[in-house]
Every structure is written in structure tokens, then in C-alpha cells.
Amino acid sequence: MTIDANSETLKVGIVGAGAMGRGIAQVSATGGMQAMIFDTADGAAQGAVDFIGGMIDRAVTKGRMSEADGLASKERLSVAKTLEDFKDCDLVVEAIVENIDIKRSVFQQIEKVVSKDAIIASNTSSIRISSIAAACEHKDRIAGLHFFNPVPLMKLVEVINGTDTSKDTTDALTVIGKRMGRVPVVVKDAPGFLVNLGGRAYTTEALRIASEGVAAPHEIDAIMRDACGFRMGPFELMDLTGIDVNFPVSQIIYNGYFQDKRLSTAPLHESMMEAGRLGRKTKAGFYDYAEDGSLIQPEGQPKSTAEPMGRAYLPESAPDLEQFLRDLGVSVLSNDDGVSPILVAPVGEDCTSICVRLELDPQRTVAIDTVTGVHMHATVMTAPGANDDVVNSVIAAIQKNTNAVTRIKDCPGFVAQRIRAMVANLGCEMAQIGVASPEDIDKGMTLGLNYPQGSIEMVDVMGKENTLIVLEELQGITGEERYRPSLWLRRRALLDLPIHTPD
């Protein structure tokens, strides 16, 4: 027997009156549930109630809520003087400091107060639910209910199953999450849960690319924003969250998965933290910031003033590249004339490898990323020793029909192919090990991290075969286990099955 999650009299207790706790209380109250807040600091709970009341009043003023609904929501808010005031609560959500010993103590105290049917949940972002539940008597009613900051604006909530969490508990929290106006995703109890785990690849692969000297952080950010539709580039994102936050989280997750190389970060990440360049909070991270906090954007690559190429040779079939050249008015030669640029559109390969494979002149060979696209932001690369005059003539031609062109150093998978393939591979691995369903993984990435597509959906954007090829080429060229394709991806690519096909 468990609580009636649809009850009109459902009562939620919240431990902790900080930003997360008061946010949880606000969405509980506006979702039609009683919300009682407790905090050990004198006046903190009442301060949270007053703050929430002000937020509700603002929503009424802006027409987002009727006056009657606003008044009713405020009337559902109350203060608990002690934890014993939670005795009638159907659900208690803990939102306090990330300390396992303190959380266990609080859970044990709550268990002595609430009824045997009441659910106790933690808003933890990093501590395993099963570790918290280990100190409890009734482990089946312990779960995670992980919200994102700011709670009223972030629609996602992770419902996390501990080892002993019952299905009734999970189902009830899913219903309550929806009543709170959130989109619940059911997640296995694992390091990083869903969103913090799934978000690793975007930043760590960008760090690898920058560490290899392939492109500067601001160039990588521009490619991922302009060509791929990410709201923020990976380095902008790290500066925003703080390197002192995202580096330790990356290490926790890496070690939590027993040093799976696909989750490792780069020495550059730690170097930034040790140097005190923590991002916006210190006005210096991967970017510098003005006194008002605004980002000082480095200058991009200057536009090429060279004479645009008029002819080019394509040594192997590349329909998208050929059409693009025709749109530019560039003649496509049937044979290499020994003078004109040689253009290739590799998938996963670096320019050096393709020059060796096809016996091309590396001085005249220019690779263009057509998998990502060329119209919003084109990326070109060359093997070492390329003729700059040839490269600049290619860039000058591309500039006629694109917003920006970035030349990078030789790199298997360019920038965008490589980062998106790693994001997609991690999403597939999460499905493979059962962190969540493929559909919930995609919801987590789009709602929790504002990705343009879910990490598994990203496979469809790139194409299953392309995604697998990029990873295999990266692994073959670099020799790194980091690029090992997930079996989820490999099997569906080889069988030509939809990427969301369940096992």
C-alpha cells in the first residue's frame, strides 16, 4: 500500500529552504498540493514562504496565473517548526547539503515521524539513493526526486530508483512530478543519474579537441552553436557552471564508472581549476569577462581575401560536396589537373589518412565537413604542410554561400562530427546499461541541458552508419579506447534498425 498520488489533499514536506527547497515547495503549491517547509536555520523556512509568495504574486501580475489560483497556492504553503510536523505528509523531499552522513541522519529522523505509507525522496544530484536508503528501515519507499535549478523554470525531474525502490513508489512520484508541472523521467541509481552523466561527452570531447590544438575554445563553441544548434558552446557552458563544479563532477562520474575512458576529461580541465580560472564567477575561465560580467569574445578567423577557386577535383564520390560546388559556380574536374584544389568530404577520417588512402597531393587537398553542413558554419581542415594559397582560395569560395568558415588543424571527425558522435555514443551506452529508456534519455538531454536533440536522436541526425564510422575511425586513428562504440549503436547500425529499437 502506498500513497494516493492523485489525492486533492496530498501533502508534501520539504527539508531545506534554500533555492532548491523553496523551488520544490513552489511547484508543489502551484500544483495543488499542500507544501510545508522545514529548515534548521531560524527564520529560513518563513523566509522561503515569503519569497515563494512574492514569486506567485509576480506570476499573477504578469497574467501567468489567475488571482484566485495565486491566492489558493499561497494558502497551501506553511512552515514546519520541527520534523515532527511532517507526521501527516504523504511525501517528504530532502533538499539539503550534499553530505551522505547528514542525509542519512535526516532520513532516519523522518522515518520515525511519517506513516509507513509515506514516501521519502532526496533531491541529491550526486549521492546514490541506495546509499541513503541503506540507513533506512523501509527501503522500498526511498527514492530520488532530482529537480534542476531554477526549479519553477526547468521542466525536467529525475525519478531515481534505488536498489529496493518499489514500483508503487516510482509510479507515485511520476504522477506527483506531473502534478508539479514537471516532465518526469525514470532513472536507474547510478553515478550522475541521467542528465549529469549524459552531459559529460559534450564538454570532455571539446576539451580533448582544444588540448590537441585542433581549434581554439571560441572556435569550437562557434561551430557547435552555429552549425549544430546548441544554445551554448561547451566552453561557454563550463564557464557558466564553473570549472570548480564541472571538473569534480566529471571526476566523480569517471571514477563511479570505474575509469571508463569514454567518460574521462582532459588535463586542461584540471589546469583551469588549479589556476583559479573558474569561469564567470572569477571573471576568467576559458574566456575573459568584463566587470559587468559580459563575455569578451575573442576575434574569429579573418575572412579570406584570396581569389576564390574556380575549379576543383573530387577524387571520390561526394554528392553533397559536388552540389555545393555547383551552387558556388565552381567547375568540378573529371581528372586532377595537378594545380586545382583537391576537395574531400571525409566521415571520421582526418585529412592525412584520406591523402594516404587515395594517394592525393597533401599540399592541395582540403577536407570539408559536409556531414555537419556548410551553410551556417563551414569547417575545413588540411594535412600538415598544406599550401595556404590553395586553402585560402577554397575558403574564399565557400564564404560566398555561408555565414562563417573555420579552418582547423587536421583532426579525425573534424570538430562537430567528433563531439556529436561522442554525445550520441554516450546516450546509446546509457540505453545499453539501462540508465533510462531511450525516450527518457532524449527528454533528459533536451529538457535538462537544452540540447537541440536528445543524445540518441542525434544518431538519426548524423545517420547511424556515419555515427558508427566516425567512432571507429577515431578509435583506429588515435588507438584510444575512449572512442569504443556502444553495442547499442553498433547493433542497430549493422542491422539497420531504428536507433530507439528496444532490446
Quick one: pLDDT at residue 1?
Answer: 55
Q: Are residues 163 and 99 in the same domain?
A: yes
- Has residue 347 been placed in a domain? yes
Strand pairing partners for 438?
Answer: none
Give the 3-state secondary structure of residue 349.
Answer: coil
CATH code for position 353: 3.40.50.720
Quick one: pLDDT at residue 20?
Answer: 98
Q: Are residues 203 and 129 in the same domain?
A: no
Decide if 158 is catalytic.
Answer: yes
Region of residue 395 (phi > 0: left; psi between -120 and 50: alpha; otherwise: beta): alpha
Find the mean pLDDT for residues 19-37.
Answer: 98
Decide if 123 is catalytic.
Answer: no
Find the mean pLDDT for residues 457-479.
Answer: 98
pLDDT greater than 90 at residue 302: no
- Could you tell me the sign of the dihedral formed by the alpha carbons of 489, 438, 190, 285, in that order? positive
Cite the DSSP H helix spans in 359-484.
Answer: 388-398, 416-432, 438-449, 457-462, 464-478
pLDDT greater than 80 at residue 2: no
Quick one: pLDDT at residue 450?
Answer: 96
Q: Are residues 388 and 356 in the same domain?
A: yes
Q: Are residues 120 and 160 in the same domain?
A: yes
Quick one: pLDDT at residue 300?
Answer: 84
Quick one: pLDDT at residue 168?
Answer: 97
pLDDT greater than 90 at residue 269: yes
- Has residue 337 been placed in a domain? yes
Of 166, 196, 264, 392, which residue is the catalytic one?
A: 196
- Has residue 305 been placed in a domain? no
CA 206, CA 241: separation in Å to the nearest integer?
Answer: 16
pLDDT digits (tens, 9 = 90+) for 102-120: 999 999 999 999 999 999 9
Q: Are residues 104 and 210 in the same domain?
A: no
Q: Are residues 129 and 53 in the same domain?
A: yes
Contacts of 113 (CB under 8 A, 6+ apart): 83, 84, 86, 87
Domain boundary among 140, 166, 189: 189
Find the mean pLDDT for residues 277-294.
Answer: 96
Decide if 377 is catalytic.
Answer: no
Yes or no: say if 365 and 344 are a contact pair by the CB < 8 Å rule: yes
Of 73, 125, 166, 304, which residue is the catalytic one?
A: 125
pLDDT band per the 50, 70, 90 thresholds, residue 303: confident
CATH code for position 265: 1.10.1040.50
Quick one: pLDDT at residue 301?
Answer: 86
pLDDT digits (tens, 9 = 90+) for 389-416: 999 999 999 999 998 999 999 999 999 9
Domain boundary among 189, 212, 245: 189
Q: Are residues 93 and 147 in the same domain?
A: yes
Q: Are residues 16 and 162 in the same domain?
A: yes
pLDDT greater than 60 at residue 465: yes
- Has residue 216 been placed in a domain? yes
Q: Are residues 203 and 152 in the same domain?
A: no
CA 78, CA 171: separation in Å to the nearest integer?
Answer: 26
Q: Which domain holds residue 259?
A: 197-296
Average pLDDT, the chain: 97
Of 111, 158, 236, 473, which residue is the catalytic one?
A: 158
Q: Are residues 276 and 347 in the same domain?
A: no
Q: Are residues 203 and 329 in the same domain?
A: no
Decide if 146 is catalytic.
Answer: yes
Domain count, the chain: 3
Find the mean pLDDT for residues 439-448.
Answer: 98
CA 461, CA 229: separation in Å to the nearest integer?
Answer: 12
The radius of gyration of the chain from alpha carbons, rounded to an integer in Å, stands at: 26
Give the burial class of 501: count Cβ atoms within 10 A of its Cβ; 0-12 exposed, 13-18 middle, 19 or more buried: exposed
